[in-house]
Amino acid sequence: MRDFLSNPILVKELRERFRTKRTVWILTLFLLIMGGIPLGLLLISPSSAGTLGENGELFLISAAIHYAMICFVVPALTAGAISGERERQTLNILLTTQLSPRTIVWSKLVTSLAFTSLLLTASMPLYSLVMLYGNVSPEQVVKLVLFFAVNILFLGSLGLFCSTWIKRTAVSTITAYGIAFCFVVGTGLLFFFLGEILQQIDPERYSQAVVWSLPELQILAGINPVIVLFAILDDSLMPSVEFAFTPWLFFCLLLPGAERAVHAVERISAETGAAQVVELEEAPGSCTIGRV
């Protein structure tokens, strides 16, 4: 633990991050959006504001905004971690120290996640307001926090992977957002389209009750964070998927697995030095963090 806390990259990154005014502005903006939208909705609809203990919509809206903010902030924080060092021309120097590529990658991930965790923690008191309006069990809140934590870990690893893989921060960020979009929206759309297509092709065999219970579609639904989020929230907006497994548990086990796979790829590219740092700079398009 002492070694972990004295890790020079952690100390440097935290110093750099928390000294800038930008950090304060990001935190302020995050809290304003997180608190402002639910409060604004209550102001617009005074009838809802009076339904203390019965209004589950506020929880749903808050959780959805929270998740959207995580998807927006996390890739942006990690997608420049390694490519930023490369652009700043500090990566070569870093690679001639005694820090291993694994230490560099992990430290970058931990510092980025530390800030995202700060955003998550700072916004949790807003849920006290949500709890006031009821229809939320403490168990749901715990599941939701776990769900957010898993998503932060996955999206953070994805951003870091893109940052290691792609030379320029701007391209890396766009790629990370693109992959995250495919994951968050793409898998959900694929799930709905496949279900609808099967119903259209063979309505008798794939009835409304049967089609959403197909194991293949259930697995697809289980990896889609939006469907899992709504399953946690017990919302009826989703089609009546009768999961044969616990969706949030499946999701929480699957994504760290994917995150480990992403890190394995990062580590392999880092340690084999398949296309080393200098070659990256001399041969546009190739990329990874590496050395002999």
Partner 1 sequence: MIETIHLSKRYGSLRALSDLNLRIEQGKVFGFIGPNGAGKTTTMQILSTLLEPSEGQAFVCGYDVMKEPADVRQSIGYMPDFFGVYDNLTVREYLDFYAGAYKIPANKRNALIADLLELVNLSNKVDAYVDSLSRGMQQRLGLARCLVHDPAVLILDEPASGLDPRARIELREILKQLRAMGKTILISSHILPELAELCDEIGVIEQGRLIACGALDDVSVRARGITLMLVRTLTNRHQAGHVLSQCPLVKDLEEQEDGFRFRFVGGEAEKAQLLQELVNAGATVTYFGESSENLEAVFLAITEGVGG
- Residues making contact with partner 1 (CB under 8 A): 6-9, 11-12, 15-16, 19-20, 88-90, 92-99, 273, 276-279, 282-283, 291-292
Residue 169 amino acid letter: T
The nearer residue to partner 1, 45 or 90, going by C-beta atoms, is 90
Max CA-CA distance within the chain? Answer: 66
The nearer residue to partner 1, 129 or 267, going by C-beta atoms, is 267
44, burial (CB in 10 Å: exposed 0-12, middle 13-18, buried 19+): exposed
Rounded least distance, CB 74 to partner 1, Å: 22
Residues in CB range of 234: below 8 A, 6 or more apart? 140
Distance of alpha carbon 247 from alpha carbon 232, whole angstroms: 8
Can you say whether residue 89 is alpha, beta or left, with left for phi > 0 and alpha for psi between -120 and 50 degrees?
A: left
Rounded least distance, CB 277 to partner 1, Å: 6
Tokens 């893989």 -> residue = 165
Distance of alpha carbon 56 from alpha carbon 147, whole angstroms: 19
Structure tokens at 19: 């000294």
Distance of alpha carbon 106 from alpha carbon 260, whole angstroms: 12
Q: Are 156 and 116 in contact (CB under 8 A)?
A: yes
The nearer residue to partner 1, 16 or 54, going by C-beta atoms, is 16
**Hey, is 54 helix, strand or coil?**
strand
The nearer residue to partner 1, 235 or 271, going by C-beta atoms, is 271
The nearer residue to partner 1, 16 or 196, going by C-beta atoms, is 16
The nearer residue to partner 1, 96 or 240, going by C-beta atoms, is 96
Rounded least distance, CB 99 to partner 1, Å: 5
Rounded least distance, CB 16 to partner 1, Å: 5
Rounded least distance, CB 85 to partner 1, Å: 9
Rounded least distance, CB 199 to partner 1, Å: 53
Structure tokens at 83: 């490519």
